[in-house]
Amino acid sequence: MEAGKTVFVGVDIGASRAKAVVLGAEKDLLGYAVERSGTDFEEVSMTILARALEMAGVSREQVAGTVSTGYGRNNVPYARSQKTEISCHSKGCYFYFPRAITIIDIGGQDNKIIKLDEKGRRLGFKMNRKCAAGTGAFLEEMSFRLNIPLEEMDALARRSEDPVRLGSFCTVFSATEVLENIRKGKKVPDIVKGLFHSVIQRVLEMDALTEEVVMTGGVVAHNPYLVPMTEEIIGRPVLVPPYPQLTGAVGAALYAMEEE
């Protein structure tokens, strides 16, 4: 990038993962970074900033503005201002799909359903913060119970021929059901697809889906099979932004551009 050209940074410190993006003046994605949030949000915010700037080929001096969002948004010392997760996810999704949409964001610790009108104005939202069911934490716990790497679950679910139906959305009770299905000799791919189905159902029970549906979040990024499964359940196509895990950070960077 040419010297002196300004860029804008968005930082999303989630409970599970921290993300940073660098946008150019034309709103093009120049660089990004993702790390585990860990226990020191300020330190990880510095790490992902450095990595994202390195990918973009720019220096700190070229950053014209930074906005932070997410669970740890107040722990980003170089951010000019902070915005809520709902606002940034809305802005990021509407940037990619500028029309009336319903956003499903599946994160490590919570889920969100956000509804926007054709002008990108928020009509309402629902969040699930009190239970791990339907989140990345749920899948992490189940991968531990099944003794399989988390990153292998998507491929396993795709191999299922007779998915198991889990009756409970509760993480604790689901674990008991998983063990019972293992005892009955059910195949691991069928159990994993049953877990994926449980995640989707847990989200869909939060609110009715109107307009076009957009799915985002780290869980969607790492388990893309959730998208066609959701399409099958709701009976219509689902949109996914280019980098679903970065949507909140992109929205934050777009806010940074507006503040300039």
Beta carbons of 67 and 81 less than 8 angstroms apart: yes
Check pLDDT > 50 for residue 1: no
Would you state the pLDDT for residue 44? 97
In tens, the pLDDT along 130-169 reads: 566 667 788 888 888 888 999 999 999 999 999 988 765 5
Q: What is the CA radius of gyration of the chain?
A: 19
Beta carbons of 117 and 123 less than 8 angstroms apart: yes
% of the chain surpassing 70 pLDDT: 92
Beta carbons of 247 and 216 less than 8 angstroms apart: yes
User: What angle separates helix 136-146 from helix 188-204, to the nearest 10 degrees?
Assistant: 160
Which residues, in sequence order, are bridge partners of residue 29?
23
* Domains defined for the chain, CATH in brackets: 7-87+246-259 (3.30.420.40), 99-240 (3.30.420.40)
Strand 122-128's sheet: what is its strand order? 122-128, 111-116, 101-106, 212-216, 238-239
- What confidence tier does 189 reach under pLDDT thresholds 50, 70, 90? very high
DSSP 242: S
* pTM of the full structure: 0.90
CA 149 – CA 46 distance, rounded (Å): 29
- Mean pLDDT over residues 104-115, rounded? 88
Q: What backbone phi and psi angles, to 5 degrees, belong to 185?
A: 85, 20
CA 191 – CA 202 distance, rounded (Å): 16
In the three-class reduction of DSSP (H, G, I as helix; E, B as strand; rest coil), residue 9 is classed as strand
CA 62 – CA 104 distance, rounded (Å): 34
In tens, the pLDDT along 194-226 reads: 989 988 888 888 888 888 999 999 899 999 999
Which residues, in sequence order, are bridge partners of residue 21?
10, 32
- What confidence tier does 171 reach under pLDDT thresholds 50, 70, 90? low
Give whole-number Cα distances, 181 to 52, 86, 140, 186, 197, in Å.
44, 38, 18, 5, 15
CA 128 – CA 182 distance, rounded (Å): 29
In tens, the pLDDT along 63-109 reads: 999 999 999 999 999 999 999 999 999 999 999 999 999 999 988 87
- Computed over every residue of the chain, the mean pLDDT equals 90
In tens, the pLDDT along 8-36 reads: 999 999 988 999 999 999 999 999 999 99
CA 136 – CA 173 distance, rounded (Å): 17
Which pair of tokens denotes residue 188?
């691991």
- Mean pLDDT over residues 236-241, rounded? 96
Check pLDDT > 70 for residue 4: no
